[in-house]
Chains A and B, each alone.
Chain A
Amino acid sequence: MAGITFKNVVKTYDNGVTVVPDLNLEIKDKEFVVLVGPSGCGKSTTLRMIAGLESITDGELYIGDQLMNAVAPKNRNIAMVFQNYALYPHLSVYKNMTFALELAKVPKDEMKKKVQWAAEILGLEPYLDRKPKALSGGQRQRVALGRAMVRDPEVFLLDEPLSNLDAKLRTEMRSQISKLHKRLGTTFVYVTHDQTEAMTMGDRICVMKDGIVQQFDTPQNLYDHPCNLFVAGFIGSPQMNFIDAQVKKAGAGYALCFGDTEIAVDKPELAPYEGKTVVLGVRPEDLHAEPQFFGKNNVINAYIDLDEMMGAESYLYLEYAGQKMIARVPARYAKKAEENIELAIDVETIHLFDKETEKAI
């Protein structure tokens, strides 16, 4: 049993800066939780508080049902992959991996088996006798991962463990880590900048900004129902388009007006916004060039500033009614830059946000 619970946790550094103002988070046992957020938002700080490397200014941290505030890192039974590797420079790769095992008095042959197992998964077998100095950045990162893998901790903490790997290796390691999680059945907390990593690996994703949890939900929910503008803009790549639109009464429902488009939406929640401006969020993949999506009042005729051909699909950087947008359309429906294109907005998938509070409507 090793869920992790933050109760009103505050972290203020010695220089008086409060990085985490009030953190409430409940990570379940065996869950794979991904922390994402812009640089400097307090992801590493949160992770380090779980590890015990950073003192907790106020509030309570539980691992399982044990209060951890005053427990030393070495007694927390956690493994951690550091953002900057933190390999022991004087020890070989093998010794780096067995450092913790030796302390835990694991028998020699079992130790060897474990290292062999980890080295095989990580592709580190040829390097076991080398010192970290003689490894590339990606290899070092894998050693850091291996050092955590060979242990059987209650909680696994990973701080951007794949940031230095090339695309192919990264995809491979991603699935290896997911497998490892299933195999070990321990709680994982994983920090990343990478959208794909967050979406594919996490059971739940915690989106942070300035030390405040914006939304903590499953990847699908984050994508389909972002709770505010920040989450909507942060999850998804390319980013969601935000369009300022006027709300007008139109028959039984409402219409969103921008440029010379009026999109009819049937949302009673819009009542208080009648006559005001809201933010309309449309994901680039919900702007369709395929004819079957064209309806009565959902088509915009946009000018293409720039087009990026990605192979199967094309990213179009558009300008419409003085607002910039991105569309992601199948390559065969795409047009070239400096042309105009007709795109249909899928009304079912739009998101609406209050312009003042930035919250979802």
Chain B
Amino acid sequence: MDKKPSHARTVIAYIVLILLTFLCLFFFYILIVNATRSHPQIQKGFSFIPGHSFMKNLKSVLNDANIPVLSGIKNSLIVSSLSAVLATYFSALTAYGLYAYDFKLKKPAFVFIMLILVMPTQVSAMGFINLITKMGMLNTLYPLFLPSIAAPAVFYFMYSYMQSSLPLELVEAARIDGSSEFHTFNRVVIPIMKPALAVQAIFAFVSSWNNYFIPALVISDNSKKTLPILIAALRSADFLKFDMGKVYMLITIAIVPIIIVYIALSKYIVAGVALGGVKE
């Protein structure tokens, strides 16, 4: 029997939660407020009251020929969406291969993937650039999303999730029902993996959306730049043209898609899709 939480404890819990919520949302609020203020206003210090320069900032962001915002958004969307899809689908596929089948090199394969997991991107960056140059992919968007196919961390997450939520009897039942292996994966395994796919899709999308390091090395054409490069370019603009309102506006524009993706996918993050399929 657990006791009913006392009144005081509820109050404290709420205060802590409100504080945390405030801390989380405060920066977003300041960001949005600043996006509506002009450069001189921002320089005077921060304020909770929105300014009147929203349209002006928006126009100056959109009309800057050096900063192709619209194509930046498009590029970022393409790269991030493809990254999310490729990373989740192929990691699930790999995890399924190692989870559901028995073959000789199963253990070594697993160890190998785990070794890649501990290798930081920066270490292999030079080799990566060399490789894509030889493949003729330099200054294209491909190198920004194709490598997502091999995502060891996502693989590991998928593998653990399968261990807890994918009984192999379901796969066997599908086989007996006449389903091919690939069809089983797409029609039985993927739906059960939905919560894991949603979580990892969000992570993959966000990390690709925020990625600056690789795009900065790979992309040189203005029309192929992604948002993080554009933001960096804007912030490093020379002193005379520097406009804080414009920078805040661009950052605001940059976070909107992430929020949309999060809201869209979060409804799939529910526990226990696989519940009730087999008797425990």
Interface string of A56-87 (1 = CB under 8 A from B): 00000000000000001110001110111111
* A53 contacts B by Cβ under 8 Å: yes
Q: Which residues of A contact B176 (CB under 8 A)?
A: 51, 53, 73-74, 78-80, 100
With A133-B275, A133-B276 as known contacts, state yes or no: A88 contacts B173, CB within 8 Å: yes
Q: Interface digits, A259-274 against B, CB 8 Å rule (1 contact, 0 not)? A: 0000000000000000
A190 to B188, CA, bound (A): 27
> In whole angstroms, how far apart are the Cα atoms of A90 and B189 in the complex?
10
Q: Which residues on the B side are within 8 Å of A17 (C-beta)?
A: none
B277 and A132 contact, CB distance less than 8 A? yes
Count of chain B residues with Cβ under 8 Å from any Cβ of A? Answer: 27
Is A103 an interface residue when CB atoms closer than 8 A count as contact? yes
* Nearest-neighbor residue (CB-CB) of B169 within chain A: A86
A78 to B178, CA, bound (A): 9
State whether the Cβ of A250 lies closer than 8 Å to any Cβ in chain B.
Answer: no
The verdict on A140 contacting chain B, using a C-beta distance below 8 Å, is yes
Residue among B170, B183, B191 with max Cβ neighbours from chain A (10 Å): B170
Return the contact of A140 from the options B167, B273, B276 (Cβ within 8 A).
Answer: B276
Cβ contact of A86, chosen from B178, B192, B194, B277, cutoff 8 A:
B277
Residue pairs across A and B with CB atoms within 8 Å: the count is 91
- By a CB distance below 8 angstroms, the chain A residues around B41 are none
A: interface residue count bin: 20 to 34
Given known A53-B172, A73-B172, A80-B173, contact A87–B178 (CB-CB < 8 A): no
B177 near A103 with CB under 8 A, answer: yes
| Complex Cα gap A88–B172 (Å) | 11
B272 CB contacts on chain A under 8 angstroms: 133
Is A87 within 8 A of B277, CB to CB?
yes
Closest Cβ neighbor of B278 among chain A residues: A84
* Chain A hits for B221, CB < 8 A: none
**Of the residues A51, A73, A83, A88, contact of B170 by C-beta under 8 Å:** A88
Q: A49: shortest Cβ distance to chain B, in Å?
A: 13
Q: Is A89 an interface residue (CB 8 A)?
A: yes
When the two chains form their complex, are residues A100 and B178 in contact, meaning their CB atoms are under 8 A apart?
A: yes
Name the distance in Å between B16's Cβ and chain A's nearest Cβ.
34
Q: Are B167 and A86 in contact (CB under 8 A)?
A: yes
A88-134: which residues lie under 8 A (CB-CB) from chain B? Answer: 88-91, 99-100, 103-104, 131-134
Min CB gap B269→A, angstroms? 15
Q: Are B188 and A74 in contact (CB under 8 A)?
A: no
- Can you report 20 A-B residue pairs in the complex whose CB atoms are below 8 A from each other? A51-B172, A52-B175, A53-B175, A72-B175, A74-B176, A74-B179, A84-B278, A86-B167, A88-B170, A88-B173, A88-B277, A100-B176, A100-B177, A103-B179, A103-B183, A104-B178, A132-B277, A133-B272, A147-B177, A164-B279
User: Top 4 closest A-B pairs, CB basis?
Assistant: A133-B276, A89-B277, A100-B177, A86-B169
Given contacts A79-B176, A82-B173, A132-B276, 10 further A-B pairs with CB under 8 A are A53-B176, A74-B175, A80-B173, A88-B174, A90-B192, A90-B274, A103-B179, A134-B276, A135-B276, A140-B276
